[in-house]
Amino acid sequence: MPSHDVMPNMELYQPVQVEDALEIANRYAERGWLVGGGQDTYGWLKDRAKSVDALIDLSAIEELRGIRPTSDGGVEIGALTTLTEIASSAELQSNFSLLTEAASVVASPQIRNIGTLGGNVSQDVRCWYYRRGLACYRAGGNLCYADTPEGMNREHALFEGSRCVAAGASDTASALVALDASMVIRNSGGESVVSAEDFFVGPANDIVNTTVLRPGDILTAVRIPNTWAGATFYWEKVADRNVWDFSLVNIAAAFRVEGGNIADSRIVAGAVQTTPRRLTNVESAVQGQPKNLQTGESVMEMATEGARTLAHNGFKVPLLQNLVKRAISA
């Protein structure tokens, strides 16, 4: 029986150019694993829950790092930019503080120093049944162990639980969707740009993958347009502990306020389904309304319309409602 306290044998590649990384990724396809900071990767491999033939370490590719202004007044963030660099960026703090706030509460300072934006948005779900290597739907089986009366599902999804009720784990994902960001993807066929809202994929569309990335693809950058630059932002994450823990629920909101009224908004909840959940019904309801407590209270219950609670996660319903109220009334 193999030991589970050491890494399994595999090839290691450390390219310094994107083109070389693409060639290797294309050659190995699903038998290759792309690594940025590696904070999600190494647990999977060390526990033997997943295995690959090759590890493709992208950390030496300088082209994939850094925060750069774009011609339209937005920014482009390299996928290997660390969460600490994002949280401390003066440029992002000035115009897109929603993202810096989200990045600043991911895990712990040590992990933020190594963890990357690309890795944070690409990480797999955190369901312990899946991560223990059980044959659930997501792992190719025919059962969702969490979606049973006896299942441990306190942290799981309220919405869109088609065969899998695991909730997304990325804090920055909801902020990027709220900021109308785009994800830049390269493969051997060229470059494509996908909206952050479409980058994340739910189990009804794909039970295996949580993003549109496929073998041979590399997420190279994230672009944030100037659409919401300098807007009124609200971010809040509720977790069991202030550090290390994943969100139980988070809320990312951007508002355009004119004369005290909400002219436009994007309100996105995280950790309530596999993908960031944009609350379009709430956005429509608050259009033209005062940004105050009364408006927040009038729409808060709309945030959980269609929710399906499991045996142990019903507390997420009032939690999400109150986060929406706080975002609108802050």
Confidence of residue 1 (pLDDT cuts 50, 70, 90): very low
pLDDT of residue 44: 82
Q: Are strands 249-258 and 232-238 parallel, antiparallel or unpaired?
A: antiparallel
Q: Which domains does the chain carry?
A: 11-60 (3.30.43.10)
Phi, psi for 233 (deg, rounded to 5): -115, 155
Strand bridging mode 261-270 / 277-278: antiparallel
> What is the per-residue pLDDT for 176?
99
Cβ atoms within 10 Å of 191's Cβ, excluding its own: 10
The structure's pTM equals 0.96
The pLDDT confidence band at residue 5, using thresholds 50, 70 and 90, is low
Tokens of 232: 């009124």
Separation of alpha carbons 226 and 24, rounded Å: 35
DSSP state of 112: H
CA 108 to chain centroid, in Å, comes to: 16
193 in helix, strand or coil?
strand
pLDDT tens for 101-146 read 999 999 999 999 999 999 999 999 999 999 988 999 999 999 999 9
CA 310 to chain centre: 22
CB atoms within 10 A of CB 168: 27
Report which of 323, 317, 296 is spatially closest to residue 156, judged by C-alpha positions.
317
Q: Minimal CA–CA distance to 297: which of 306, 305, 281, 286?
A: 286
Lowest average pLDDT, out of 49-53, 84-88, 158-162, goes to 49-53
- pLDDT per residue over 146-186, tens digit each? 999 899 999 999 999 999 999 999 999 999 999 999 999 99
What element of type H or E holds 127?
Answer: none
225 contact partners, CB below 8 Å, separation of at least 6: 70, 72, 73, 74, 180, 181, 182
Q: For 61-76, what is each residue's pLDDT tens digit?
A: 999 999 999 999 999 9
How many angstroms separate the CA atoms of 164 and 315, rounded? Answer: 19
Mean predicted lDDT score pLDDT of the chain? 95
- The closest of 70, 80, 77 to 16, measured between CA atoms, is 80
Q: Are 222 and 79 in contact (CB under 8 A)?
A: yes
